[in-house]
Every structure is written in structure tokens, then in C-alpha cells.
């Protein structure tokens, strides 16, 4: 993974692993990465609108869902839904 983190969220969409939220040392993370196991490659997908951790993360029908979580000061009760546009994949040679 391009960036070390823990207590992060993970989901699978179209056979690719999406890693988001989490914590690294003393700060929470907003960057989203996607891993393609067939190509053994990571791609940067974007950032969330805020840094948070401990969110429940799942996927359904090619959408990503993040439930709850914690920012620096607050415990969240929100449910976020995101349409994920996956990066183009180049075939292995």
C-alpha cells in the first residue's frame, strides 16, 4: 500500500480492493487507494471531504458505503454513499 495506516476501512468493487479512512501516527487519513490484485498495482483514487477513521465500510451494486466513524472531535452517525469510478486498467504483458 502506498501509505501506511491502521484502523482503516476496506471494500471490494469489481474485484478491486478499496482502502480508505484510517489513522497514521497522530493524524486521520482521507486518501482513498485502490488495489488491483491481477496487476499487483495500487492507484490513488482521491480524497474524502474530511479525515476520519473507524468507519464501517462495505460495497453493494458497485457503490461504496461508509457508516459512522470518528473525526478528531466527533463520533459520526452519518451514512455516506459514493459511486466509485475505477481507473482504467492496462492488461499485463
Residue 41: what pLDDT? 92
pLDDT in tens, 4-56: 888 888 999 888 999 988 888 877 788 889 999 999 999 988 888 777 777 88
Residue 43: φ, ψ to 5°: -130, 140
Q: What is the pLDDT of residue 88?
A: 56
Q: Terminus-to-terminus CA distance in the chain, angstroms?
A: 23
- Distance of CA 56 to CAs 66, 79, 88, 92, Å? 6, 9, 27, 33
d(C-alpha 12, C-alpha 20), whole Å:
11
Spatial CB neighbours of 15, under 8 Å, sequence gap ≥ 6: 37, 38
pLDDT of the residue at 76? 80
Cell of 38: 491481477
C-alpha cell at 58: 462495505
Q: What is the pLDDT of residues 63-91, one digit of tens each?
A: 888 888 777 788 888 887 877 766 555 54
Amino acid at each position: 500500500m502506498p501509505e501506511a495506516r491502521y484502523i482503516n476501512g476496506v471494500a471490494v468493487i469489481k474485484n478491486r480492493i478499496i482502502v480508505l479512512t484510517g489513522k497514521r501516527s497522530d493524524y486521520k487519513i482521507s486518501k482513498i487507494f485502490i488495489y488491483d490484485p491481477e496487476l499487483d498495482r495500487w492507484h490513488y483514487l482521491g480524497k474524502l471531504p474530511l479525515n476520519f477513521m473507524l468507519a464501517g465500510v462495505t460495497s453493494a451494486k458497485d457503490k461504496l458505503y461508509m457508516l459512522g466513524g470518528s473525526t478528531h472531535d466527533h463520533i459520526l452517525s452519518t451514512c455516506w454513499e459514493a459511486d466509485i469510478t475505477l481507473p482504467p486498467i492496462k492488461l499485463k504483458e
